[in-house]
Chains A and B, each alone.
Chain A
Amino acid sequence: MEKLLLILVIILAVVGIAQIAKVYQVSSELQKRREEDISPTSNKVNANLWMLFMIAFFGFFIWQFVAYGDMLLPVAASEHGMAVDQLFNVNWLILITVFFIVNFLLFFFSWKYVHSKNRKAFYFAHNNKLELIWTVIPSIALAFLIIYGLNVWNKVMDEPAEDALKVELYAKQFDWTARYAGPDGKMGESNYLLITSQNPLGLITDETIEARVAELQEGITKTKNKLAGQILPDEQVEELEDRIGSYNRQIAKILNFKKSNNDFTTAYDDIIVKGEFHLPIRRDVAFQINSRDVIHSAYMPHFRAQMNAVPGMTTRFSYKPVISTDSMRTILDDAEFNYILLCNKVCGSAHYNMQMNIIVESEEQFEKWLSEQKPFVEPDAIKAKKGSEEDKVVEDGPLAEKNGN
């Protein structure tokens, strides 16, 4: 019933407008008014509307700046972030000036030079001097902006200091995991083939290799049983056979890791955290960024930091935090405030909620926090393992996957 009414209203509205248009047209015909002859009144009204629009537009801009200015570009909390903000300010100064001047000229001329029968337009086809001026001036301004911008860019993308803290940011649908190199200062190697629920980052150790191979072999047995146990449609048979092939190839690849002479013990002391990660103040942090499934982007707006997480490729970004979480809470007068890491490349249904808190604190606080975190494999467990042949993986601790989504 409601829909019917709605449709009726729409139809009536259309008919109404059509009638008005018709009346308008009949009256134009009576007055011999032609649609293409824009009357002086119409011209005048539109000319004035340009002025009105300009005032409203500029007013809207200024109002937004006043009302929302404090929200723009949250206070920069990294060393390079301050340089970036300065570059922003210089750009804004130039761009907003040009914005006002050019729009003003456009609207003002539209108002001033409205049609008049007593006037003929000025025949002005070209003027090389003028054109040269507005080629050269933008060129100079842009040359300045390019040089200044690239200067900042090179500093931002510079190699981090040697003693930089190494942190891996690892993305998957739909959360982040952070990993620290641990006491040995070396980030353990990882490979996606070794990912299990116990080993969400696919770290390579003798134990994870064995565990994953065992898991794959179990998968093969299960699939074979399924194939043997029941009559299946051809398509499904093909799919299951493909799976067996894939598992076998994975096992072969994984066993190849062992043949390399790499040291796989560096991963033992790596520290894996979820939910939030901590950073020491005034020390370079070198992030290596990885993804296991689709492209994500590690975006830390307060630090003016962003870099895509690309499957199959490690990307890097580094910065030096200069304002601790506590100080920022005081600056913003917000006791709840936290720095955050967001995902900024569409990655699926829960893309909008893929966040991790970042706590910036003093070196001592940071070291204390880090020492409280569990390493990938507890030192006791390593000793125990060396004693026996069992491949035991730590059950509790930070490894158990907590996928909130």
Chain B
Amino acid sequence: MSATVEAPEAHAHSHEHHHAKESFVSKYVFSQDHKMISKQFLITAIFMGIIAMMLSVFFRLQLAWPGESFEILNYFLGDRWAPDGVLDRNMYLSLVTIHGTIMVFFVLTGGLSGTFSNLLIPLQIGARDMASGFLNMLSYWFFLVSSVIMVASLFVETGAAGGGWTIYPPLSALPQAMPSSGLGMTLWLVSMALFIASSLLGGLNYIVTILNLRTKGMKMTRLPLTIWAFFITAVLGVLSFPVLFAAVLLLIMDRSMGTSFYLSDIYIGGEALDPVGGSPILYEHLFWFLGHPEVYIVLLPALGISSEVIATNSRKPIFGYRAMIGSIMAIGFLSFIVWGHHMFMSGMNPFLGSVFVFTTLLIAIPSAVKAFNYITTIWKGNLVFTPAMLFSIGLVSTFVTGGLTGIILADSALDINVHDTYFVVAHFHIVMGLSAIFGMFAGVYHWFPKMFGRMMNSKLGYAHFWMTIVGGYGVFFPMHFVGLAGAPRRYYQYTDYPMFDGIYDLNVLVTTFAIFAAAAQAIFLFNFFWSIFRGQRAVQNPWKSNTLEWTTPVEHIHGNWPGAIPVVHRWPYDYSKPGKELDYVPQNVPLTEGEEEH
């Protein structure tokens, strides 16, 4: 074990030597330092998030006031996609699709894992850097290029991909089916292929680093829950993203090489097409084999972050540390055998459907354990409401509220009527959208001092949080009602159906909250960028936290610790331990005589 501690040290010296002649390009652009790469991921993800959020406001305008003219739409989308300020119906579908794709993959997968796995894995396990700095750098550059391509696809003449973020063929395979299945879809596929490469490079690196570069004394059972969450997330990604890659590759072949993996018996645009024997259901299986673990790839890092933040700010150990690890692993495992619940109505054999009902509802058990453990952690705590803490508690609420409606959707008999309606939209936006973005915000507020050496303004943080949770629930809660009324998702307007007359004022309410919540993000953006340059200078351990990242100096250095890497003696949750003077005991403090670990 001591060898692993000393070897990186020698490494660190060579780095320091290197430090002096570092150019702007090698420091800020082609950096191999995990801390810089994490900042690059974060800032890219913030820009992607702004774009995706704006797209959602655009299509929400159409949903609340169908067919009405908005100058802002014309301003951003131009005469082609919003003539006279009225959103084009093809563009509507493109907006919905790209909003979903960017949010799920670029913000909540690349942005969340990329930022916090990169920042925290070496710092919290006591490593000088990632196992491979070069792969780490490549991971970011693949991410950036794929982001640029995805955004560029919005400017294609025939429109960005518009078949929904799940891009089911044949709709996505045939340009005859919709104009945006042409070049727009090609760019989508290219972008996703690069994204998957980025995600795999990152994931492999995270796994290797966690398994091999832990400092002396950092047993797996002493890892902070953040690291456990990032670890299982990376494993999920490495096992499931290649399957999406295969699905994408076969789709590319169907589109351009005349194969028929997904196509059969199609008559479109006045022509009968040649392909026979393929099945779109194959694509659905492949897609959701990634698609469901993806939900947890998005959610687990957020849960990891909130575990850390809640324990620190409750000044209390996380309740049931081992149960939390167990439930992360159980969720990770189960997430691979539940994908069929997205396909109850696909024509799949009903018996197979019932197997997926069973496995899916099982996931509720580890999820319930997690929720109760969070609440028990707060119980009899001594809560300090930092903005990060507010977001973490908000996360627990959205995780529970959104998770409960999942029980309805997992029940195939109930799913018949709510499948693909706004009920689903409400469910996954609350349980994975809001929860994951809350986790991300919590992470940013909490580790901002570590990232930038300065503090974010807490008052602005409070305003941001309260407006976001009110706006977030205000947007997605009414959607349950819209969905139960039977309103399908991805509809351009509902004016052609008398049965949906009742949902109009709800749609107006939703859009109003959406604009409100979007405006609230301006507070965050201002606070974030302003604090990078002007925020109060941070102290070494502002939150009085136990984990190792707070033992590093405020100024970033290569190799993280100027001297030897600290040795770990205890688990990370010794908050308010009886018999201790302070209410926290960092992990590198040796156990006193007769002290039990926990």
- Nearest A residue to B415 via CB reads A306
Cβ of B390: which chain A residues have Cβ within 8 Å of it? 46
Tally of B interface residues using CB under 8 Å: 130
B365-423 contacts to A (CB < 8 Å): 365, 368-369, 371-376, 378-386, 390, 393, 396-397, 400-401, 404-405, 407-408, 411-414, 416-417, 419-421
How many Å lie between the Cα of A315 and that of B284 in the bound state? 15
How many Å lie between the Cα of A74 and that of B526 in the bound state? 46
B168 at the interface (CB under 8 A from A): yes
Report if A345-B168 is in contact (Cβ < 8 Å); known contacts: A71-B481, A135-B365, A313-B347: yes
How many Å lie between the Cα of A356 and that of B379 in the bound state? 55
Cβ of B278: which chain A residues have Cβ within 8 Å of it? 312
Does B354 lie within 8 Å of A311, measured CB to CB?
no
Does B381 lie within 8 Å of A313, measured CB to CB?
no
> Which of these, B277, B353, B417, contacts A73 with CB under 8 Å?
B417
Q: Binary interface profile of B, 518-554, with partner A (CB < 8 Å = 1, else 0)?
A: 0000000010001000111011001100000000000
Does B583 lie within 8 Å of A120, measured CB to CB?
yes
- Nearest B residue to A114 via CB reads B383
Cβ of A135: which chain B residues have Cβ within 8 Å of it? 365, 368-369
Does A25 lie within 8 Å of B534, measured CB to CB?
yes
Cβ of B490: which chain A residues have Cβ within 8 Å of it? 346, 351-352
Does A312 lie within 8 Å of B457, measured CB to CB?
no
> Which of these, B314, B469, B539, contacts A36 with CB under 8 Å?
B539
How many Å lie between the Cα of A235 and that of B165 in the bound state? 33
How many Å lie between the Cα of A400 and that of B284 in the bound state? 35
B459 at the interface (CB under 8 A from A): yes
Cβ of A95: which chain B residues have Cβ within 8 Å of it? 404-405, 407-408
Q: Binary interface profile of A, 16-40, with partner B (CB < 8 Å = 1, else 0)?
A: 0110011011001100001110100
B503 at the interface (CB under 8 A from A): yes
Q: Binary interface profile of A, 83-106, with partner B (CB < 8 Å = 1, else 0)?
A: 110011001000100110011011
B280 at the interface (CB under 8 A from A): yes
Cβ of A107: which chain B residues have Cβ within 8 Å of it? 397
Q: How far is the CB of B183 from chain A (nearest CB, A)?
A: 17
Report if A64-B478 is in contact (Cβ < 8 Å); known contacts: A145-B407, A192-B267: yes
Does A146 lie within 8 Å of B380, measured CB to CB?
no
B343-361 contacts to A (CB < 8 Å): 345-347, 350, 353-354, 357-358, 361
Report if A21-B457 is in contact (Cβ < 8 Å); known contacts: A149-B411, A156-B416, A340-B497: yes
Query: How big is chain A's contact interface, by range?
Result: 35 or more
> Which of these, A83, A122, A311, contacts B265 with CB under 8 Å?
A311
A328-356 contacts to B (CB < 8 Å): 336-337, 340, 342-353, 355
B340 at the interface (CB under 8 A from A): no
Does A103 lie within 8 Å of B397, measured CB to CB?
yes
Does A121 lie within 8 Å of B575, measured CB to CB?
yes
Cβ of A56: which chain B residues have Cβ within 8 Å of it? 470
Cβ of B264: which chain A residues have Cβ within 8 Å of it? 311-313
Cβ of B369: which chain A residues have Cβ within 8 Å of it? 131, 134-135, 138
A193 at the interface (CB under 8 A from B): yes
B586 at the interface (CB under 8 A from A): no
How many Å lie between the Cα of A342 and that of B383 in the bound state? 51
Cβ of B542: which chain A residues have Cβ within 8 Å of it? 34-36
Stretch of A258-266, A294-302, A386-394 at the chain-chain interface: A294-302
- Nearest A residue to B358 via CB reads A146
Cβ of A305: which chain B residues have Cβ within 8 Å of it? 416
Among all A-B residue pairs, the 5 with the closest Cβ atoms: A312-B264, A301-B486, A315-B347, A35-B455, A36-B542
Some 23 contacts from A to B, beta carbons below 8 A apart, are A14-B526, A36-B543, A42-B385, A57-B473, A71-B481, A91-B408, A122-B380, A124-B317, A124-B319, A135-B369, A150-B354, A150-B412, A153-B354, A249-B274, A297-B420, A299-B486, A307-B345, A310-B279, A310-B346, A313-B264, A313-B347, A344-B488, A349-B492
